[in-house]
Structure 1
Amino acid sequence: MPRTTTPDPTPTPSGIRRDKIVRRKLSDEVFDRLRAMISSGELGPNDPMPSERELMQRFGVGRPAVREALQSMHTLGLITISHGGRSRVNALSIESVLDGVDEIAQILLSSEPDKLEYLKEARRMFEIGMVRLAAARATEADIADLRAILEQQRGHLDDTRLFIETDLRLHSRIAEMTGNPIMGAVSQAMLRWLTQYYTALVHWSGNEQQTLAEHAQIIDLIAAGEVEQSAEAMRDHLDRSLEMYRHGG
């Protein structure tokens, strides 16, 4: 079985440093080889994976090690296992990677309510930085989209759920305006985690007009290219609105 050496800084009584030899599972070695095949481009998006027999012969291991490695890759979203057909390499994107941790986020946030406060803090810092970029890079088309979304939100005053959904769409659109796909994907993920696992519907009641006014102010500042004032307006808006999110259980 393959072994790897893990440095151990703890000296022995004689002062000699120890480097422990740690045994690795064969499936871990197979996983690393398969991941390298994808990273190097040997296997590209949507390519069929080699058969189990081919992998067994290539790596000189048994079927259990190959199957366990393939299952690990499937769990991480690197490949899709098709029973009765060939497994294929997935086309990865920032969005798909973050989608893959949604279930973990649900469990974490549900089991440890204090983590909600950390998420709210992270979103606050993220969006303040995000709106700075949006204000510096906004186009006329971007501003027109924001104003259209705001008008749609104004039309949902009698439907709290749709009002909130439109609110989140406006924030997502601001993230897209940065031109940074990572920021857009992270914004979508944080908003999804906040709304899917924590209900703010009751707490929004009576705050709709203030929300609309704050959104209008943020859009006007972005349109004017006021980078720092946009950030200040977003900070004030989030300091108020994030308090509306409460743990559902």
Structure 2
Amino acid sequence: MTDTAPAPARAWKVVLDKIETDLIEGRLGPGDRLPSERDLVAQLGVGRSSVREALRVLEVMGLIRTGTGSGPSAGAIVISSPTGGMSALLRLQVAAQGFPIEDVVATRLFVEEWIVGTLAAQSDTDLAVARATIDAMDAEPLPPEDFLALDAQFHYALAAASGNTVVAATMAGLRSSIQGYTAQIARHIEDWGTESQRLRDEHHAILEAIEAGDVERARALVPLHIAGYYTH
């Protein structure tokens, strides 16, 4: 007779499930301190090493901050930092080649069209960081690696300006991938001066459309800018 009973959950996963349930049901929230390691061990019947492993996972995910000692900052405290956790996860997946570049480009098109359309429809958006980034790109001729780092910063600045933390976290996570594949393409461009000028002009056009409140034009410029460079 075959034993079909499910395998027992890993002990550290039991701790994660407990904390997730407490967050969902409102027993824990941002700023609250998690039970001590000793209390979690007693409540859940797991070892202290399993509790510590679960806390490390939560910290990497950007859900808690841990501190040592006995003061007010000691222990594990729930924080609201989704950007850090999502960004780290996406960066690792991209680094491990879990996401094909074609999928990254398609995601950028989808997300960034929403970003510029949202920004153009708003009347009080702070675009100072995006504008300063463009100014830095215009200041002097830059080598491709420096230019493309600022290019990624420009697109992230627009995402952050949208006010949507999930979108900002997604763009932050894709940022290293964006720099990676754009740098690969740049190595095959013979006239970088002409290409970088074209990219600068497109950045200005996108920002001007946003500032003018022209939603349709802003959205239309994104695929020309992103897919155009990738196709090149």
Normalising by structure 1, we get a TM-score of 0.71
Describe the superposition over 1:200-229 as per-residue Cα deviations: whole angstroms up to 9, x where unpaired.
Answer: 352462311111111121122212211111
Distance 1:243 1:137 in 2: 31
Describe the superposition over 1:140-172 as per-residue Cα deviations: whole angstroms up to 9, x where unpaired.
Answer: 752x55444322211142333222222222212
Superposition CA RMSD, Å? 3.1
1:128 aligns to what SS in structure 2?
A: helix
Contact 1:106/1:197 (8 A) holds in 2:
no
Verify: 1:157 aligned to 2:159, yes or no.
no
Residue 230 (structure 2) aligns with: 242
Q: For structure 1, which segment, 43-52 or 167-176, has the greater mean C-alpha deviation from structure 2 after superposition? A: 43-52
Q: Which is bigger in relative contact order (C-alpha 8 A, separation at least 6)?
A: 2
Change (3 A) 1:148 1:57: closer
Verify: 1:34 aligned to 2:34, yes or no.
no
Q: Once the 2 structures are TM-superposed, how far is the Cα of residue 71 of structure 1 from its aligned partner?
A: 0.8
Verify: 1:208 aligned to 2:190, yes or no.
no
Counterpart code for 1:57: A
Describe the superposition over 1:162-186 as per-residue Cα deviations: whole angstroms up to 9, x where unpaired.
Answer: 2222222221222233222222222
Task: Decide which structure has greater strand share.
Answer: 1
Distance 1:108 1:90 in 2: 29
Residue 67 (structure 1) aligns with: 49
Q: Any gaps of 5 or more consecutive residues in structure 1?
A: 1-19, 245-249
**Structure-to-structure mapping, 1:1-249, within 5 angstroms:** 22-25=6-9, 27=11, 28-45=13-30, 47-59=32-44, 61-63=45-47, 66-77=48-59, 78-79=63-64, 87-102=75-90, 104-109=92-97, 115-139=100-124, 141-142=126-127, 145-195=129-179, 199-200=183-184, 201-203=186-188, 205-206=192-193, 207-243=195-231
Distance 2:80 2:198 in 1: 40
1:188 aligns to what SS in structure 2?
A: helix
Distance 2:33 2:229 in 1: 47
Distance 2:204 2:84 in 1: 32
Distance 2:108 2:218 in 1: 16
Distance 1:219 1:71 in 2: 45
Q: Once the 2 structures are TM-superposed, how far is the Cα of residue 241 of structure 1 from its aligned partner?
A: 2.0
Contact 2:126/2:161 (8 A) holds in 1:
no
Describe the superposition over 1:81-103 as per-residue Cα deviations: whole angstroms up to 9, x where unpaired.
Answer: 66787641341322122133145
Structure showing greater radius of gyration is 1
**Count of aligned pairs between the two proteins:** 218
Change (3 A) 1:36 1:70: farther
Contact 2:121/2:213 (8 A) holds in 1:
yes
Distance 1:25 1:145 in 2: 46
2:6 aligns to what SS in structure 1?
A: strand
1:192 aligns to what SS in structure 2?
A: helix
Describe the superposition over 1:60-88 as per-residue Cα deviations: whole angstroms up to 9, x where unpaired.
Answer: x252xx53244134224344566787641
